Structure 1
């Protein structure tokens, strides 16, 4: 048993882009945190060193392993007060890694949930995704959408489908009576596109632009979406966890999901990439000449070809209907409910987030310049 008011937490995906931010905040902000267990397949030595320097009085236990390892999960959950499940595989493909994505995102969540119930863990906080909600059509606009709209993705692509099923399992488990007489309370956070220093997706876009004379391909015209800074998403997890740890408040948010955005101005993904990198000479390409409708139907035909070939060959189309919809829709959401129920307010302003992200992009530009010098004859 832990001392009175002392508690412990297991964080999955603790070595990842978001997970490591959550861990940092837990170590910095939660003075009564007795132990934090970090579970992931890979941890960098630098990250482990940083965690050890931040830990203060908190015991840090590193558990390197797979989310599908049932024995590991049951061991990791023993004696834990709360679980933050942020481990996930993110992908926009049609067939690529489909089985792996379904296993990790859906089955892994179910196994972790079962391990929590077996170990009488009363709090389960799930990192979901905006793609659980949509967008479903580039022709239908959603502006300042909120939780009461009950938006739900129609896509069967592995990532949105696996996250949707996993979230439903987590929220359905809320209110379950555990063997020790306590009640399990669950909650889900749905962050939008997460950016910031270390984002592999933003790094990919920067690297592509560097190979194209610092020019971003303009992938959408007239679209609008939310982007959220990674530290603000991590802060939302801390606040949600605090709310779940309060017996009275936990009942009001248990079984609910919350959209997590911040004050980053909604814009197209292409415009966003340009906005955070223009300081380093990046620019936007010319406007798209191909109508979106034509692109969508081309994607549909490629998907049909892929489906017909699937019995004998796995063909991954270069783009698909879900990706075209995702990058060409007007789909913005509000964090009003998270503010009301969780007390969430962005900790990092848009200007500060843009500055930090831009400085990081500057290091990528410098690294690319050095690599070119090394390759030069």
Structure 2
């Protein structure tokens, strides 16, 4: 088993994980408990009470804090005695009418509240978990790197813009003087690609729910050359721990953003999803439907729903929207060289192990 070496010769850290009850948050807490010798205590902050769903060891003291990231008083209290924050708390809404106001409030304003409190409490290190989606638009991305991939004029998914706005705040806060007058805030931005694995509630879980609603058949779409590059949650969490330690050792990484991927195969999305769909006893359609035709049909369906909504509210299957289909039927994959060279990040789970762990979760998941 790989272990994180002590990041510095000084005392061990108290780490606060925001969004600890989410998919990535759960894996972060597990790694902090089982793989990180530089940590002496873990604080878990989330609007939902943290539960040990991954059945990890609990040898290190843990404090469970149930609070909203926008609650300034609760955030200040949670930061007492903390050395480093890994900030995962966020709202992701991929519905037909995404709640942009709430996403801005949590993802952007909540991040600012957190950083202001860190300055007040003299907490020096922030690992901000963003996502590769911040640079995803209508154009395909082939081995996108941090310095070669521009921000799109229009984001496909509504939450992506809010995460990008939060990134701007995090970069601007890097180097901000703390209230003690002698130390500075050091921030780093992590951009994992689409996350899958145990505790996932958005990606594969949403596809499985949609498939169940469609009589157990996931209809394949054909849009010529389409590839996706998901990242296993355990590896994304590991990258955040490497960033945490590197931030203490090497201040040159502060204020930088890093794409995070692993050895999950770059596949057609339906080829990637097939094992998970089949593990539930579902199947993929034999025929692949033309993407353009499906989107045309969706356009008229959504138009009808909008026109009838005030008279007869109709709920489309969650995740079945034009933006999510555009996202799924395009090509996005990334280059993690920067994270490898500057953060010493290498995936700790190979593709087969990641897939097997994930299959066990999705197979038993209550939909």
- TM, length-normalised to structure 2: 0.85
Partner of 2:184: 183
Asked if the contact 1:223/1:330 (under 8 Å) is kept, the reply is yes
User: In structure 1, what is the Cα distance between the partners aligned to 2:191 and 2:131?
Assistant: 4
Partner of 1:165: 165
Q: What secondary structure, in the 3-state scheme, does the structure 2 residue paired with 1:55 have? A: coil
Q: What secondary structure, in the 3-state scheme, does the structure 2 residue paired with 1:233 have? A: helix
User: In structure 2, what is the Cα distance between the partners aligned to 1:25 and 1:32?
Assistant: 11
Q: Does 1:230 align with 2:236?
A: no
Matches within 5 A, 1:1-377: 4-43=10-49, 45-47=51-53, 50=55, 54-56=57-59, 58-93=60-95, 95-134=97-136, 136-137=137-138, 140-153=139-152, 154-155=154-155, 158-180=158-180, 181-201=182-202, 202-212=204-214, 214-221=216-223, 222-246=225-249, 249=250, 251-278=251-278, 281-292=281-292, 295=295, 299=299, 321-364=322-365
User: In structure 1, what is the Cα distance between the partners aligned to 2:300 and 2:161?
Assistant: 18
**Alignment size in residue pairs:** 353
How big is the alpha-carbon RMSD for the aligned residues of Structure 1 and Structure 2? 3.1
Asked if the contact 2:157/2:324 (under 8 Å) is kept, the reply is no
Structure 1 residue 325 displacement after superposition: 2.6
Asked if the contact 1:175/1:184 (under 8 Å) is kept, the reply is yes
Asked if the contact 1:223/1:328 (under 8 Å) is kept, the reply is yes
Structure 1 residue 157 displacement after superposition: 5.2
Q: What secondary structure, in the 3-state scheme, does the structure 2 residue paired with 1:225 have? A: coil
Structure 1 residue 191 displacement after superposition: 0.9
Structure 1 residue 217 displacement after superposition: 2.0
User: In structure 2, what is the Cα distance between the partners aligned to 1:86 and 1:292?
Assistant: 35
Asked if the contact 2:229/2:264 (under 8 Å) is kept, the reply is yes
Q: What secondary structure, in the 3-state scheme, does the structure 2 residue paired with 1:200 have? A: coil
Counting helix residues as a fraction of each chain, which structure ranks higher?
Answer: 1
Partner of 1:372: none
- TM, length-normalised to structure 1: 0.83
Post-superposition Cα deviations, 1:221-271, rounded to whole Å, max 9, x if no partner, equal 33211111110011001100010121xx1x221111111111111123322
Asked if the contact 1:144/1:332 (under 8 Å) is kept, the reply is yes
Asked if the contact 1:236/1:344 (under 8 Å) is kept, the reply is yes
- In structure 2, relative to structure 1, the CA distance for the partners of 1:326 and 1:78 (3 Å cut) is same
Asked if the contact 1:239/1:343 (under 8 Å) is kept, the reply is yes
Structure 1 residue 102 displacement after superposition: 1.5
User: In structure 2, what is the Cα distance between the partners aligned to 1:166 and 1:303?
Assistant: 32
User: In structure 2, what is the Cα distance between the partners aligned to 1:76 and 1:121?
Assistant: 11
User: In structure 1, what is the Cα distance between the partners aligned to 2:358 and 2:19?
Assistant: 22
User: In structure 2, what is the Cα distance between the partners aligned to 1:204 and 1:297?
Assistant: 21
Post-superposition Cα deviations, 1:81-104, rounded to whole Å, max 9, x if no partner, equal 110000111122353322222211
